[in-house]
Every structure is written in structure tokens, then in C-alpha cells.
């Protein structure tokens, strides 16, 4: 994988927030507090565009400049803030992930940051694609450089959201049905687990009935499927309905994860 092969899929996943290839590269370096191409913010960024599409290669000096101020945390945050949720699965597929897996956005962003670090440190133009392997390490709790991310409560435990993470459209004051499908992708059986709804905004859509969902015992490589009724309020906007998975003692099994979140876009439509 080279700089272009890493950057192009990410830039596409940032649309419409960052729709220009050249601006993407400029902002990526800006996130690292460097400007190895000596670009002006309001230029046409033609050279940066060529770096993104592969018609130009990173020079050794550019790599050195990027490494001088490299921060895994800053680059990870840049990816997390700009990658659009609706494009997340297509992005992961482009990096070799299974089509049946929807990755955790924070973990994928950190894995991408580590891929860029390898690109910048290598004397070669092409390096190994380490995004999947780094994602697996991060999932197992191998975090560095002060990134605030927590491994699963139980060693070997893992969960993947299989159902869609795209925004669900709804009207104000409407009851909608949302189907979730979660895979126990680790090696730990789920015994006496629950999904707990955490209301972070008063205007957020809420479950019509169950705020706590009891999960039947699920062995590894098996699925939990549930249809939840949500009731929207009178406020328009994009809302992330946050769920956590707890064990029988009330401990968060996957701290600081967004694996179980449901995203609802509410619009007022007059009768």
C-alpha cells in the first residue's frame, strides 16, 4: 500500500465534508501540524491532489517533515471526525475487511493512523497493508501514545454490528422500527448480558418500550437480533442513540465503543 492507495478511499469516505482530493491531503498534513508541500490554504492544491491520486509520490523530505510532528492521536482524530458514518463500511471493504463486518469507527481511525506512520517511516513507496492487523491489535487492547481507547472488559471478548449503520430517516413524532444484528465475534460466551440505552440529549429519539434489553446467552460466532421501536420527538436533526452492553454486575463490557449506536436523522414534514 502506498500513500495514494491509503488516501483515496479515505478521501472518498469523507465526502461531502471534504470533497476535494487536494484539500484532503492538505488537511491531513495540517492535522499533523506540518505543511511538507508548502501549500497555501486557499491555493488550488493541485500538487496535493496529485499525491492523493498517485500521479506524484511522496518525497523523502515530505515523509521526514510528516514524521517530525507525527501524532497518532491527532491523525486518528482527523480520520474519526471526517469519515462519514454512512461511508464507513465501504471504506473498510476497500481495505480488505469482510463485507459482513461493520468496524468500530474509532478503532479503524487509529489503525489508519498507524498505516500512515508506516508509510512515512518506510524508505520504499509501497508498504504492507497493516490496517486489518492493527485493527485486531487495537481491538485486543494494544493502544499506544496516549490514545483514549479501552479494550474489552473480558479478554477475548469482541462484538461486531452486522446490521446497517447508515442514517435512518424519520419524521418528527413518529414511531419507527430499527433492527439490530450483533455478532459475538470473540471467544467469550455472552451470559446474562444486557443492552442499556443511554440518553445523551433530551431531544434524542427514545425507545418506545424497552430501555434495557436482555440478551439471551450467545455463544461465540452466533448472533443476537432484535427489532426496537423508537419514538422521535419534535426536534429535527441527526441523533446518535447510544447503547452499551453490560454484564450481570452492571459493568460496561466494551468501554468507549460506538458498536451498538443507532443513528436517526429526524426531519419535520408538514402534513
**What is residue 137's predicted lDDT score, i.e. its pLDDT?**
84
- 225-264 pLDDT tens trace: 999 999 999 899 888 888 999 999 999 998 877 788 888 9
How far apart are alpha carbons 79 and 99 in whole angstroms?
21
**pTM for this one?**
0.64
- Cβ within 8 Å of residue 187, ≥6 positions away: 156, 157, 158, 220
163 pLDDT tier (thresholds 50, 70, 90): low
| Mean pLDDT across 29-37 | 88
**What is residue 3's predicted lDDT score, i.e. its pLDDT?**
97
Exposed/middle/buried for 234, CB within 10 Å: 0-12, 13-18, 19+?
exposed
Task: Map out the domains of the chain with their CATH numbers.
Answer: 3-139 (no CATH), 159-267 (2.60.40.10)
- 175-214 pLDDT tens trace: 999 999 998 988 999 999 999 998 877 888 999 888 999 9
**What is residue 164's predicted lDDT score, i.e. its pLDDT?**
59
Sheet holding 223-231, edge to edge: 159-161, 175-184, 223-231, 206-207
111 pLDDT tier (thresholds 50, 70, 90): very high
Percentages helix, strand, coil for the chain (3-state, rounded to 5) are: 30, 20, 45
Amino acid at each position: 500500500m502506498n500513500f495514494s492507495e491509503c488516501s483515496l478511499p479515505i478521501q472518498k469516505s469523507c465526502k461531502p465534508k471534504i470533497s476535494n482530493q487536494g484539500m484532503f491531503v492538505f488537511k491531513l498534513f495540517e492535522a499533523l501540524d506540518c505543511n511538507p508541500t508548502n501549500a497555501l490554504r486557499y491555493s488550488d492544491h493541485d500538487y496535493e491532489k496529485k499525491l492523493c491520486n498517485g500521479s506524484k509520490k511522496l518525497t523523502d523530505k515530505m515523509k521526514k517533515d510528516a514524521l517530525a510532528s507525527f501524532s497518532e492521536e491527532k491523525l486518528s482524530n482527523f480520520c474519526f471526525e471526517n469519515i462519514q458514518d454512512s461511508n464507513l463500511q465501504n471504506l473498510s471493504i476497500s481495505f480488505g475487511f469482510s463485507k459482513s463486518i461493520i468496524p468500530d469507527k474509532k478503532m479503524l481511525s487509529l489503525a489508519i493512523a498507524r498505516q500512515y506512520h508506516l508509510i512515512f517511516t518506510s524508505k520504499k513507496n509501497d508498504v504492507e497493508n497493516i490496517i486489518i492487523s492493527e485493527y485486531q491489535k487495537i481491538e485486543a487492547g494494544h493502544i499506544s501514545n496516549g490514545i483514549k481507547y479501552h479494550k474489552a472488559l473480558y479478554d477475548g471478548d469482541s462484538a461486531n454490528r452486522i446490521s446497517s449503520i447508515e442514517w435512518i430517516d424519520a419524521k418528527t413524532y413518529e414511531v419507527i422500527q430499527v433492527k439490530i444484528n450483533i455478532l459475538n465475534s470473540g471467544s467469550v460466551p455472552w451470559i446474562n448480558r444486557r443492552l442499556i440505552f443511554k440518553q445523551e440529549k433530551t431531544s434524542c429519539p427514545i425507545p418506545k418500550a424497552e430501555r434495557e434489553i436482555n440478551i439471551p446467552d450467545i455463544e461465540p460466532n452466533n448472533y443476537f437480533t432484535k427489532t426496537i421501536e423508537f419514538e422521535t420527538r419534535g426536534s429535527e436533526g441527526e441523533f446518535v442513540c447510544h447503547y452499551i452492553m453490560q454484564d450481570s454486575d452492571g459493568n460496561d463490557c466494551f468501554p468507549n465503543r460506538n458498536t451498538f449506536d443507532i443513528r436517526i436523522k429526524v426531519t419535520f414534514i408538514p402534513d
